[in-house]
Amino acid sequence: MNYRQKAIIESLFESIVVIAIIGGVALGIEIHYGFFGVSVFSIVALLFLQKKKKKNNRIMVKNEVKTQWGKEHKEKRNFQHIEKMYRFLIEKEKQSFIIDNTTWTDLNMHDVFSKIDHTKSLPGMQYLYNMLRRPIFEGKVLNKRNEVISLLLENKDISQEIQYHLSRLSKSEGDNIFTYFKDGVNVDIKLARVYKILSYMPFLILLLFFVNVPVAFFALILIIGINSIFYQINKYKIYEEIETLMYIGSLIRCAENIIKQDTGMIDLEQSKIKELLKNLKSVKKNVSKINANDAFGSEAEIIIHYYNMIVLREPNIFYKTMKLMNKYKEDIFRLYFIVGKIDAYISSASYRDGLKYYCTPCLKDTGTSFYLKTDELYHPLLDNPVSYSFELDNIGALITGSNASGKSTFLRTIGINSIFAQTLNLVLAKNYESSYFKLLTSIGTVDSVVKGDSYFMAEAKSLKRIIDILDLNEPVLCILDEIFRGTNTAERISAALEALNYMINKNCLVVAATHDLELTSLVNDKYKNYHFNESIENDDIIFDYILHKGPCTSRNAIAILKYLGYPKELYENASRGAERYL
C-alpha cells in the first residue's frame, strides 16, 4: 500500500470517527446518556490514529534527513526573508567590515548560498546567510567554528538527529519574527477583560441545561454566535502576533530537544540554551497552550479550532502572554540565534561531506603586505570545474583572454573562496594560504537609467568605493573585470593603468581581467600576467579554461564573429581593418 492510499484510508477513517463523535453527542442529548460512550470511544480512537500518524511522519522525516545529507537541497528560497537576521544585526551592532551588496551580487552569492544551504530551519538559513556576509579576521574564532563543524561531520548520526528536530521548526514559518524582535508586541488590550468574561459564558450556560433545555439551547447558540464574531474580529487584529507566538513555542521545543541529545564533546552552547530556557519557562507555559493543536491535524484540528473560537481561548492566552513576550524579547532572540547557528554549522558539515575535495585554509595576519597561494582551487557552482593553481606574494595579477574564455569564472572563483575561507573556514582547493583580506569586487557593473549613470560613471563609482577603503596596514583583495569600460580607448587605458598601480601600492591585492593587452606591458613590476586560451578548429571554437602564465598573444574576437555566422564580407573587412590598426 503506497503513501497516497494510506492517506486516503486515514482520511476516511477520521471522517467516520468525527461523525461518530458528533452523532454520539446528539443521540446522548436526545435519546439516552449511554450514547455519550460512542463519542468517548471515538475520541480515543481519533487520538490513537493521530499518535500513529505522528510516528509515521517522524520516521518519514528522519529518512528524508538521512537521504538529503551531503546533497544539494533544491528548493525555492525567499532572500527577502533569509537576509532579515543580517539586516537586523547590522542595525543593532556595528562591524568594521561586511561583504557589501555589490560584491555579493558580483559573485552570484545568491546562487552560491542556494548550493551550500543544507539547513532545515528559517533561523538556520538566516544565520548561514549572516555568516557569509560577515567575514572573520581572528584565527581563534575561525578555528573554534571549524572544530565544531568537523565534529558534527564526524558524528553524522548526532547531526542528523538534531536536523530532524530543526526540520520540525521548518523554513516556511516565522516570517514575521523579526518584526517582533525589532518592535516587540504592541496590541491594544482594552477588550481583554470583556474577552475573559465571554470565555466563561459557554460553561455557565451548560449548567442551564439541567434547569431549562430550550432556553439553554437558545442561550448557547447566542453566546457561540457572539464569541465567534469577537473571535474573528480579534483574530485579524492579532493574527500576526499569534503566528509569532506559535513559532516561538516551536522554537522553544526545538531547543529543548537539541539539549536532550547526547552530543559528547561537541560544544553546541548547551549551557547557554539551558539558561535561556530557564528564563523562558513562563513564556513556554502560556505559548504551549496556543500550540496545543499542533499535535493534531485535519478534522481533529478543526474540532479544536472551533472549541478555541467558542471559549475565546487563544485571545485570552495571547493577552496574558503579551507582557512576558516583551519582557523576554532579548532572551528569545538569543535562543533563535543559537538554534540558527547550530543549524548552519550542521549545514556546513553536510555540505563538506558532499565535496570531492576541500581544505582548511591557512590564514595569516600579514599586516602591511599580502599573500595568496592556491593549489587546484575550483568554483562551487560548476559540475566539472577546471581548477587553478597560482601564487601571488605581494604582487597582483592581470588576466587577459577573449570573452567566454574563463576570465570571469576565474575571478569569481577567487572571490567566493575568499569568503568561504573567512566564514566557513573552508576552501574548495587542495591547499590554500592567504592573508586575512577585506574583499571588494567590481565585476558586473551596469549602467543605470534610474540614477542616470553611464557604464563609465557606474564603473568609476564602483571602483571609488574600493579605493576609499584601502589601508596600508590591512590587506584588501580587489577583483576587477574590464576596468573603466564604457569610455574611449586612450582614456580607459590611461585611467586603468594609474588605478592599478595606485591600488597595488596601497597594500591591495588586485586581480583584474582586461581586454586591453596594452596594460600587460604598461603596469609596473608588481603584477603577474596570466591568460586564457581558445582556438578555432574546423569552424568550431574550443575553450580549454586553463589558466596560463603570461599575457594573451592572440586576438580571436573577429574569428568568433566568423564562428557565429556573421556575413563573410563583414568579418573579412573587420580582420583587415584590425591588422591596419594594430
Q: Averaged over 211-216, what is the pLDDT?
A: 76
**Range with top average pLDDT, 333-342, 483-492, 497-506:** 333-342
| C-alpha to C-alpha distance for 98 and 327, rounded to whole angstroms | 31
DSSP for 464-509, please give it: HHHHTT-BTTB-EEEEEESTTTTS-HHHHHHHHHHHHHHHHTTTEE
Q: Is the predicted pLDDT of residue 295 greater than 50, yes or no?
A: no
Q: What is the pLDDT of residue 285?
A: 81
Q: What is the pLDDT of residue 154?
A: 95
All cell numbers assigned to 484:
573603466
Calculate what percentage of the chain has a pLDDT beyond 90. Answer: 45
Q: Where are the alpha helices (DSSP H) in 386-542?
A: 407-421, 455-467, 489-504, 519-522
Q: What is the pLDDT of residue 419?
A: 98
Q: What is the pLDDT of residue 293?
A: 43
Q: Between 290 and 80, name the one with better pLDDT.
A: 80
Whether the CA torsion 133, 107, 545, 479 is positive or negative: it is negative
DSSP assigned state of 119:
-
Tell me if 364 sits within 8 A of 434, measured CB to CB. Answer: yes
Q: What is the mean pLDDT of the chain?
A: 83
Q: What is the pLDDT of residues 359-379, one digit of tens each?
A: 999 999 999 999 999 999 999
Q: What is the pLDDT of residue 3?
A: 42
236 band by pLDDT with thresholds 50, 70 and 90: low
| C-alpha to C-alpha distance for 476 and 469, rounded to whole angstroms | 8
Q: Is the predicted pLDDT of residue 330 greater than 70, yes or no?
A: yes
Whether the CA torsion 269, 272, 278, 279 is positive or negative: it is negative
| C-alpha to C-alpha distance for 215 and 248, rounded to whole angstroms | 43
How many other C-beta atoms are found inside a 10 Å radius of the C-beta of residue 91?
9
Q: Is the predicted pLDDT of residue 226 greater than 80, yes or no?
A: no
| Among 100, 240, 254, CA closest to 171 | 254
| C-alpha to C-alpha distance for 482 and 98, rounded to whole angstroms | 24
132 band by pLDDT with thresholds 50, 70 and 90: very high
Q: Averaged over 106-133, what is the pLDDT?
A: 96
Q: Is the predicted pLDDT of residue 292 greater than 50, yes or no?
A: no
Q: Is the predicted pLDDT of residue 238 greater than 50, yes or no?
A: yes
All cell numbers assigned to 122:
528559517
| Secondary structure class of 574 (helix, strand, coil) | helix
How many other C-beta atoms are found inside a 10 Å radius of the C-beta of residue 71?
12
Residue length, the chain?
Answer: 582
Burial group, residue 388, by CB count within 10 angstroms (0-12, 13-18, 19+): buried
Q: Between 524 and 473, name the one with better pLDDT.
A: 473
| C-alpha to C-alpha distance for 415 and 8, rounded to whole angstroms | 52
Q: What is the pLDDT of residues 151-185, one digit of tens each?
A: 999 999 999 999 999 998 888 888 889 988 988 87
Q: What is the pLDDT of residue 283?
A: 87
Tell me if 100 sits within 8 A of 69, measured CB to CB. Answer: no
All cell numbers assigned to 516:
586591453
All cell numbers assigned to 223:
453566546
Q: What is the pLDDT of residue 215?
A: 79
Stretch among 192-206, 213-227, 426-440, 449-463 having the lowest mean pLDDT: 449-463
Q: Between 5 and 136, name the one with better pLDDT.
A: 136
